[in-house]
Each structure stands twice: as C-alpha cells, then as structure tokens.
Chain A
Amino acid sequence: MTEPAKPIIQIKNVSKRFGKVTAVDNVSLDINAGEFFVLLGPSGCGKTTLLRMIAGFELPSEGQILIDGQDMAGIPPNKRPVNMVFQSYAVFPHMSVADNVAYGLKIAGVKGGEVRDRVAEALELVKLGGFEGRMPDQMSGGQRQRVALARSLVMRPKVLLLDEPLSALDAKLRAQMQFELSELQEKVGITFVTVTHDQDEALSMACRIAVIHKGDVSQLATPSDLYEYPANRFVADFVGSVNIFEGKLTLDEPDKAAIDCPGLGKVYLNHGVTGPHGADVWVALRPEKIYLHVPGAGKAVRAAAEDAPDGHNFARGTIKGMSYLGDITLFEIELESGARIRVSRPNLSRHDQEDFTWDDKVSMHWRADSPVVLLG
C-alpha cells in the first residue's frame, strides 16, 4: 500500500520545552506520503505537542520540521499544507454544516459554484450528504466529528492531522469509526497523522505506529511488529497486556537462548538474543500465548512443550482470580514462586469457562518462540 516510502513529513531533532518541562525531547522521525501514521502514548507523553508543532500551533524549541521538503520554520498555521481535526472537533457552532465545510474554501478564494460542489463531495465522503443546512447543535458527537473531517478534507491537504479523533465517542461508534477512518484514508490517499492514547485504536488503524514515551520515540514499527516484537519494557507493557519477569541470560547462541527467571522458571527460546552472558534481562510473555492445563495432564504438557528441553517453558500455579469477558476468560494465577501471571484463554465452546475455577491447581506451558527478551 505504501511502497514508495517518500517522506512527506520529516521531523529532525525536534525538542519542545515549556519552561522547565521538556515535552518533546530530540525526536526525529519520517512520515511517509500516503500512510496512516499513529503517534501512540500515555497522556502527557508529548504526542499532542508533536502534532501541534506539525500544525504550527507550537514552535519547536530546537530542531526542524519539513513538510513535503519545505522547512516549516516561520510559516504560520494558516499557511501550512496541513489541516487538523481537533479533539473537541471545533465545529463552528454559529455556522451551518455547509458553511463550516465551505469556510476554508471561501478564504482560499474558491468560486461559489466550485465551493458548492466540493462541499457536497466532502460531505458525501463522510456520509453526511443532505445535512448541509443543519446546525452543529442539532447533531450528535459522531456527526460533528464527520463535519470536522469534511471541513479538513475539502481543503485537500497534503497531511491530515487528527488529535485523539475517537476519544469522545462511545465504544461501539469508536470501533465503527476506526474502520471508516482507515477506509476514508485509503480512498482519499491523504497522509493521516493521528494522535491517540488508545492502543486498540492505534493497532487497528495504523500503517506504522510511533510509541512516544516521556517526549521520546520508544519504538517505531508496524502494528504487528510493535505487538509481537516490542523493543523495550515500556512498549511491551503499553501495547497490549503482558507478563514481565526479570531473569539472567544463561545460554545465548545463534539458534537458542535460555533465561533463568526466579519468578517464572526456566525460559527457553528457539532463537538467539545477542545479549551479554549473565546479563540481567526481562522476559515478556503475552497472556494469550500461555496454555493452561489441569495438573493431571503434566506429562501431556511436557510433551506439548516439545520445542523446549525438559523443565523449560513450564510452570505450575493456583488460580487466584478470574474474569469472564465473553470471548475470553482472564486468569490471574499465583505461581509456585509467589509471583503472579495473567493468562487468557479463548472460550472456543460454550462451556469452556467452566473448565477452571478459583483455587484450582493448574499447569502452564508456552512455545519457545513466544517469550520476548527485553534488554531495557
């Protein structure tokens, strides 16, 4: 979809300080033309500041932002080839839907007939055809957001910036809008840069995600790489749910590695990790990658974990907590070491959730390619 990796936005060593607080700390990243790029991070991580610097509402304390090869220093927001959809939508409450969408076109000096055509086209695009005469206070939050989208898209910007676009919508509508936004982005081919703190939103919409932590890019990767190959503990923990155990690297060869985790036991991997021998490392294990068994099936378990040597990738514990979520059941299990681990189990048949209950002794195993070893 985005083969020609031509950067439309280049952020070069950009920092932003508010007084003594450093909101963005020496960030460099390229955003490619035509991609759906997501800046993901917890609140206060600097992601919105970064977006506002691209839009021109904040000026970088240091560094350079280029849009389509042009340095944006000294160029005010109204002269930049980007448009923004605000978190509050910022639909002008005293103007009809059509006037809202036409606002930018009229300022740009587009002629009356063309304005009407383009407004109609933009409203059609966001499925608001026929709403031209409505006032914003007669519309729902979702519809107002569509107005804000149309108002920006009608300007045919090189980049569309979206600040937490779905945060004010309810869960059902949010899921629907995730699909619609991706669809819309493919249809119009404009580069979308979205800021969000919601990892589901990021994973479902993005071509690439930059995880921002304390004003810095923690990892920049595709959604699946981010989830399956997190670069550090912050990313592993922030994107999805994860169990993290500290351990020591006891074996590290090109095709295998072993880590001794006091909390979890012996972990075996079918690939090398290129870390110094005896180093302190962290093992991250996703809850859905752990298989749960009744204790009697001990032999079967060991047989199932056949890709690891005996005594590896295996643990025993007691169920201490359980939450049934419909599609999956989430277990909190106290291991023999006293550490706790979260395991999720899909409810493949209607009565699967009855297999285990509180205080059951259970055993677990996982595949040798499931754990992720993190050095930082």
Chain B
Amino acid sequence: MAEQDWKTNRGVFAAVSLPTLLWVLLFFLIPMAIVWLYSFGENRGLTEIAISGTLDNYKRATEWLYLTIFGKSFAVAALVTLICLIVGFPVAMAITFASEKWRPWLLLGIMLPFWTNLLIRTYALMMLLGTQGFANKGLGVLWEGASWMKALVGLQPLPTWEPVELLFNNFAVVFGLVYVHLPFMVLPLYAALDRLDRSLIEASLDLGAGHFRTIMRIVVPLAAPGIVAGVMITLIPALGAYLTPDLMGGTDSQMIANVIERQFKKANDWPFGATLSFLLIYAMFILIALQSMRRKVPEAH
C-alpha cells in the first residue's frame, strides 16, 4: 500500500497536496519571509521601510532591556511549564488509572476549556482574581469568620479584611498561563502513560518497590517521551504568550510578545518588531532541535 501511495499516483498526489502547499506558501512562508526581510531593514518615514541589509536591529535587540525581557519570558515560560508538569502528571496518572467508565468524562473535563474562547476564559479568570473577585470575597468571608470566632472566645478580633492583590502582577501571569496551558501538558502525558504496560508497574511492586519509588524509577522514565512532548508543547506557546500577560500582568510583567506587539503598533518600528519576532522563532527552533537530538528512550511495548 505504502509503495502505491504517491510513487505510482503522482498526479493524484500532486492534485491533493497542491492546494495545501499553495496555502502554506502564500499565507505562511511568504509573509514570514517578508517579516524576515524587514528585520534587516530600517524605517524611512512613517510607512516606508527600506530593506538595507542593516544589522542594527539585531544589535539593538542585544541591549540589556530586551535581553532581560527575553530572559524573563524564558523564566516565566519555564516556571509555567514546571508547574504544569507537577500539577499535570498526577492528573494524567489519575485519568490513566481511572475506570473505563470515567476515563472519557475526565478527558472531556480536561478539554472542556477549549470550547470557550481564550479571551473570555481570561476575563473569567480576572473576575475570579480581582480585588472584588470571588477569590478575594471567599477569603474575606473566611477572614470575617475567623475574626468572629476569635471575638466569640473573647480574643481581640482580627483587623478588617484587606483584599489580596491577585491580579495585575507576575503571580497573575503565571497563574493565568498555567491555567491556559495545563491541558496541553496533561494530554501528551496521558497518551504516554496510557501506552505504558501495566505489568511493568506490577513487576516493580512485586519486586518490593513502594508506589512512590515505582513512579520515580519506572513510570517517569518510561513516560519520558510524553514528558518531553508535554514540556515542548507547553513551553513554546507559553514563551510567546501575549494575551495573558497583556490582560492579567502588571507594568513589570510584560513578556517578549508584548514588546513585539508594541513595536508593530505604538512604536511603529516594524523592522525591530520583526527582529524580535525572529529571535523568538530561532529560540524555539533551538528548543525543537534539542528535543529531536535527545537520546531515544526505548518505549514499553
């Protein structure tokens, strides 16, 4: 079958793949190439860009200000990925070992957020975390309760409740990004764990290992392909996150995508925006290259 596919039916193959190829070429590769060319250009007047082959934009990108923003973006994305991994692994394990009846529902629960637009989900989170949000209100009620209890037993009541700043800071950005990216982590982890031969886990228990040791020595190493996939699929979009830091972050929480956006809009410096964009793309290329170079872990059959 595989032989017949495209070697013998070149005409059919070309006819089927041509529209897709054209699409990718016209709406992805060519625009990307234009942006790439812009990164070697400079502004001439308000709308005109001369592609002069200058490397000034790249020089400017190595300024301390931009390096710190790149660094910070990496740090935030890495932290988000780590939290997603720590939270997502037990979730994926729970789904894997849930009964046949429950598993589809749990998976549906993981994918349910995708049914709603990211913007709406972000606003919902903001409603939750705001000073007048549900989180603060809930904490306030608990605080009042504790104060009332103290007064009841004759102690000094607590001072009045001051809402906690949960929004418009770095915490909010990390929280929001974890919320958005958690399903991306859980699904590849689940896929990897589901493939794991259960008898390997039983063999480990049988040889005297406890559950924790079995997870660390058997489950995690064998789920490594899924962990790597989950990390990549979380890290890369988190690195380019724009909406969440824009809406939920404070003045000091901007990430690289926000800076890029500003170059294209407010600053009207397309060449520099193009440069920053491509630096981000190169960084992601490097990540993907590292992933594909990693030692192949033999999979359980």
- Please list the residues of chain A having a beta carbon within 8 angstroms of any beta carbon in chain B: 55, 57, 76-79, 82-84, 86-88, 90, 92-94, 103-104, 107-108, 135-137, 148, 151-152, 155
Q: Is the CB of B203 within 8 A of A107?
A: no
Q: With A94-B298, A136-B298 given, name 6 new contacts (CB 8 A).
A: A78-B208, A86-B199, A87-B199, A93-B298, A93-B300, A152-B206
Q: Which residues of B contact A92 (CB under 8 A)?
A: 200, 203-204, 218, 222
For the residues of A in contact with B, the DSSP-based class is: mixed
Say yes or no: is B165 at the interface (Cβ < 8 Å to chain A). Answer: no
Per-position contact with A for B15-38: 1 when CB-CB < 8 Å, else 0? 000000000000000000000000
> B206 is contacted by which of A77, A87, A88 (Cβ under 8 Å)?
A77
| Identity of the chain A residue whose Cβ is nearest the Cβ of B202 in the assembled complex | A57
| Identity of the chain A residue whose Cβ is nearest the Cβ of B200 in the assembled complex | A90
Of residues 143 through 194 on chain B, the ones whose CB sits less than 8 Å from some CB of chain A are none
> A107 is contacted by which of B197, B208, B221, B222 (Cβ under 8 Å)?
B208
Q: Which residues of A contact B208 (CB under 8 A)?
A: 78-79, 104, 107-108, 155
> A94 is contacted by which of B199, B203, B210, B297 (Cβ under 8 Å)?
B297
How far, in Å, is A28 (CB) from chain B's closest CB? 25
Q: Which residues of B contact A135 (CB under 8 A)?
A: 298
Given contacts A107-B213, A108-B208, contact A93 B203 (CB under 8 A): no
Q: Is the CB of A90 within 8 A of B202?
A: yes
Given contacts A90-B202, A90-B203, A93-B222, contact A78 B297 (CB under 8 A): no
Bound-state CA distance A84–B208 (Å) is 11
Top-8 shortest CB links A-B: A104-B207, A90-B203, A90-B199, A86-B199, A93-B298, A77-B205, A107-B208, A94-B221
Say yes or no: is B56 at the interface (Cβ < 8 Å to chain A). Answer: no
Q: Which residues of B contact A148 (CB under 8 A)?
A: 203
Question: Chain B: how many interface residues by the 8 Å CB criterion?
Answer: 22
> A155 is contacted by which of B207, B213, B221, B299 (Cβ under 8 Å)?
B207
Given contacts A77-B206, A94-B222, A108-B208, contact A88 B298 (CB under 8 A): no
Per-position contact with A for B279-301: 1 when CB-CB < 8 Å, else 0? 00000000000000000011111
Of residues 56 through 89 on chain B, the ones whose CB sits less than 8 Å from some CB of chain A are none
Of residues 261 through 292 on chain B, the ones whose CB sits less than 8 Å from some CB of chain A are none
Given contacts A94-B297, A104-B208, contact A86 B218 (CB under 8 A): no
Q: Is the CB of B204 within 8 A of A84?
A: no
Bound-state CA distance A87–B200 (Å) is 11
Per-position contact with A for B195-229: 1 when CB-CB < 8 Å, else 0? 00101101111111110010001100110000000
Bound-state CA distance A78–B203 (Å) is 9
Given contacts A90-B197, A107-B213, contact A83 B206 (CB under 8 A): yes
How far, in Å, is A372 (CB) from chain B's closest CB? 40
> B207 is contacted by which of A87, A88, A103 (Cβ under 8 Å)?
A103
How far, in Å, is B83 (CB) from chain A's closest CB? 26
Q: Is the CB of B199 within 8 A of A88?
A: yes
Bound-state CA distance A376–B210 (Å) is 48
Q: Is the CB of B205 within 8 A of A78?
A: yes
